[in-house]
Amino acid sequence: MTTNLKFNSNYVGITRHDDTPVVHFTLNSVDPRYYVESAKNKRV
């Protein structure tokens, strides 16, 4: 069974795969705004 895992971020799309003995994740998409926000946070 594959389930969708939702994080509290609008920037990243992740799918959780729990159909094997070891749960693994697939990164489906990253919004380009994620990198802009990350750069702002590093300039503190």
Q: How confident is the model at residue 29 (pLDDT cuts 50, 70, 90)?
A: confident
Q: Please tell me whether residue 4 adopts helix, strand or coil conformation.
A: strand
* Residues in CB range of 32: below 8 A, 6 or more apart: none
Give dist(CA 44, CA 38) in Å, integer: 11
Mean pLDDT of 23-41: 75
Which residue type does 35 have?
Y
Structural tokens at position 38: 């990350």
Q: Is this model's pTM higher than 0.75 or not?
A: no
